[in-house]
Amino acid sequence: MLCELISKAQPSEGVFDYTIECHQMAIKAKPGQFLHILCGGDSYLRRPISICDVIDNRLIRFIFQVKGEGTKALSRAKVGERLDVLGPLGNGFDYQQKAEQEGDCVLIGGGIGIYPLLGLARRMKDKPVVMLGFRNTDSMLLTGEFSVVARSLYVSSDDGSVGVEGNVTDILKHSLSMGSKISKIYTCGPKPMMKAVAEIARENNIACEASLEERMGCGVGACVTCTCTMTDGSRKRVCKDGPVFNALEVDFDG
């Protein structure tokens, strides 16, 4: 589907914030799903980019980081240009089912994995606790928007320039050590971070969902390029079976 680029911003070096008009996709989109966008014409494969937010059931916002030639070509798009977009694709977060135990829902994000958690936070009936990890002050994005939709917002940075120095998982560990009750965790970010979150969730008997990122070809499960390994030894397609999985069933070392 051709979707008009309505707004474009560059909040930090190499990071672009786009909003496209696509009513038919917007009304179906769920937090955790993604778009498959053709970058720079026929010379590049489509790129999977997570949906950040849906606005007025008419607009879809997505944020991406330039990592290669495809996303570099996408970053050159101009407002008013039409982008070739497939979506929404994949399975999103299961945020409507009541958790088995009482406590807060906690959203934990790092790097580009922070962006899709914003739309999830907006959709939740009860405001979640949000924990975000950044490299430094320059990479800190969306904290103002998260502060509006979160019951509590905690931030960490690798260099200590903002929030707590260290990993965002340190905030989760500290929260649990202080007696916080958590009903479910939703996480998206670097694989080592999600692995650590899943291990903490398992140790504390907390339900946990993780949104995975893998290189994709077709985006609809046909090419089997984007498989991940599960703890039972089976392999799942991130684009079709995910990208959101029960984190306790994912073999992050597979």
Residues making up the binding site for [2Fe-2S] cluster: 218, 223, 226, 239
Spell out the residues 6+ positions from residue 239 whose beta carbon is closer than 8 angstroms to its own: 48, 89, 90, 216, 218, 219, 220, 221, 226
Binding residues: 47-50, 63-65, 70-71, 218, 223, 226, 239
Q: Which of 42, 45, 41, 49 lies closest to 15 in space, CA to CA?
A: 49
Collapse the DSSP code of 5 into the 3-class scheme (helix H, G, I; strand E, B; otherwise coil) and give the result: strand
Binding residues for FAD: 47-50, 63-65, 70-71
Q: What is the DSSP string of 45-93?
A: -EEEEE--EEETTTEEEEEEE--SHHHHHHHT--TTPEEEEEEEESB--
Spell out the residues 6+ positions from residue 248 whose beta carbon is closer than 8 angstroms to its own: 198, 201, 202, 207, 208, 231
Neighbours of 9 (CB within 10 A): 10
- The amino acid that residue 118 corresponds to is L
